[in-house]
Amino acid sequence: MGRGLVIGVVLVLAALGVAVGVVLRETEGPGSTNASGMTVASAMGGKGGTEGFARAMEPRPLHFPEDHGPHPDFRTEWWYWTGNLETQDGRAFGYQFTLFRSALSPEQPQRESGWGTRQVFMGHFTLTDVSAGKFHVNERFSRAAQGLAGADGAPFHVWLQDWDVRSEGTGGGTWPMHLRAQGDGVTLELTLDEGKPPVLQGDKGLSQKGAERGNASYYYSMPRMPSRGTVSVDGQTVQVKGDSWMDREWSTSALSGDQVGWDWFALQLSDGSDLMLYQLRKKDGTKDAFSAGTYIPATGEAVHLTADDMRLERRGTWKSPRGGEYPAGWRVQVPKVSLELTVTPKLPDQELPVLVRYWEGAVSVDGTREGRPVQGRGYLEMTGYADTPRDEQTVRSRTQ
């Protein structure tokens, strides 16, 4: 999802969870763990009230640049950028920049205060400094009032305080986009070009996540956006370039009651092709039938993948110092497109100790495509592991 799964993604909080999270962050500080007790499943499920919100029921035409902008009739949406960057001498970085919008109610509150709003925004910004072995994490919250946070479609602009992405095309054009974020001693500024055109995920952009009608999102990706700019870390600013991946999703409910999390892959391969996969995990440890993905060749039409088209095998275990166990790597097989890959994190600990704790970070890829060697890089998101007692994780490892 986007990232989401978001994911994604990934990860949109229900309105109550956002409110609780603001209090927790103010009282516990940025290093606190998931003290709210909130889980990925509760944040992404249909609980918390869907009445009055639009729902993703059937495919609908997606129009650009309009759909880069907000969809306030839906309860949640997110703008998700990840990417791998490097300096001219090969110093490697990974980044994640995500802005989430969550609606508190379907209608705007009837009050005169300029602080009145029905929208809350959350942001995550991480930087993986591969050579230094450091992972920088930042989280923010704000109401969409008094200009503190919001989103516009024409021209495109989404922001959370001084974190933002905006269109900088001449004559009102979308491209390029400019991305800016800072915190935890690091700053990222990038110019993003369009690269490959939008890829509609699922059924013409309708990505079904569960059996219930409406447990779905509208989802598209910009899988390979040439990126250039600067990274500042430890008082030093360096020029970088690389490729970014943008995911966009909006929905009102996505996960079903027996789904606890997902494993999401966005991989850019050396032959010019790209791969997005997400594996939804059920409470009993099995892969949900609504898991899906897309293979995007260097040229030509995208190939949509079902749960039966993918085989994901865990490679080892990484134990979080904050509690919970994650896969330490993956073997990915997609026989439909003759693809076999090994996915390895560039740093073991790229876990975000934020309101809803999850792992998301830069990865390296090695393998074959139609028997010929292929390499690559990308991003991996794993959710639901920190929410799960150790004995349930043991069941999962034995059943997958």
**Between β-strands 303-306 and 292-296, what pairing exists: parallel, antiparallel or unpaired?**
antiparallel
Query: Tokens 């447990």 label which residue?
Result: 215
CA distance 78 to 17: 16
* Contact predicate 356/11, CB 8 Å: yes
| Amino acid code (one letter) for 134 | K
Query: For 311-333, b where at least 16 C-beta lie within 10 A, e where not — what string?
Result: ebeeeeebebeeebbbbebbebe
CA distance 5 to 209: 9
Residue 61 pLDDT: 96
CA distance 250 to 157: 16
CATH architecture of 15-399: Beta Barrel (2.40)
Residue 387 pLDDT: 59
Comparing CA positions, the residue from 196, 220, 288 lying closest to residue 56 is: 220
* Contact predicate 126/357, CB 8 Å: no
CA distance 46 to 271: 40
**Segments of the chain scoring below 50 in pLDDT:** 1-47, 388-400
Domain spans, the chain: 15-399
Residues in CB range of 381: below 8 A, 6 or more apart = 2, 3, 4, 5, 6, 7, 8, 9, 10, 262, 263, 264, 358, 359, 360
| 3-class SS string, the chain | CCEEECEEECCCCCHHHHHHHHHHHHHHCCCCCCCCCCCHHHHHECCCCCCCCCCCCCCCCCCCCHHHCCCCCCCEEEEEEEEEEECCCCCEEEEEEEEEEEECCCCCCCCCCCCCCCEEEEEEEEEEECCCCEEEEEEEEEECCCCCEEEEECCEEEEECCEEEEECCHHHCCCCEEEEEEECCEEEEEEECCCCCCEECCECCEEECCCCCCEEEEEEEEEEEEEEEEEEECCEEEEEEEEEEEEEEEEEECECCCEEEEEEEEEEECCCCEEEEEEEEECCCCECCCCEEEEECCCCCCEEEEHHHCEEEECCEEECCCCCEEECCEEEEEHHHCEEEEEEECCCCCEECCCCCEEEEEEEEEEEECCEEEEEEEEEEECCCCCCCHHHHHHHHHHC
pLDDT tens for residues 345-367? 999 999 999 988 999 999 999 99
**Ramachandran assignment for 62, one of left (phi > 0), alpha (psi -120 to 50 degrees), beta (any other):** beta
pLDDT tens for residues 256-275? 677 889 999 999 999 999 99
User: Hey, what are 379's tokens?
Assistant: 């991003």
pLDDT tens for residues 215-259? 899 999 999 999 999 999 989 999 999 999 999 999 997 666 778
What is the C-alpha end-to-end distance of the chain, expressed in Å? 21
* Contact predicate 9/264, CB 8 Å: yes
Residue 399 pLDDT: 26
User: Hey, what are 15's tokens?
Assistant: 């309105």
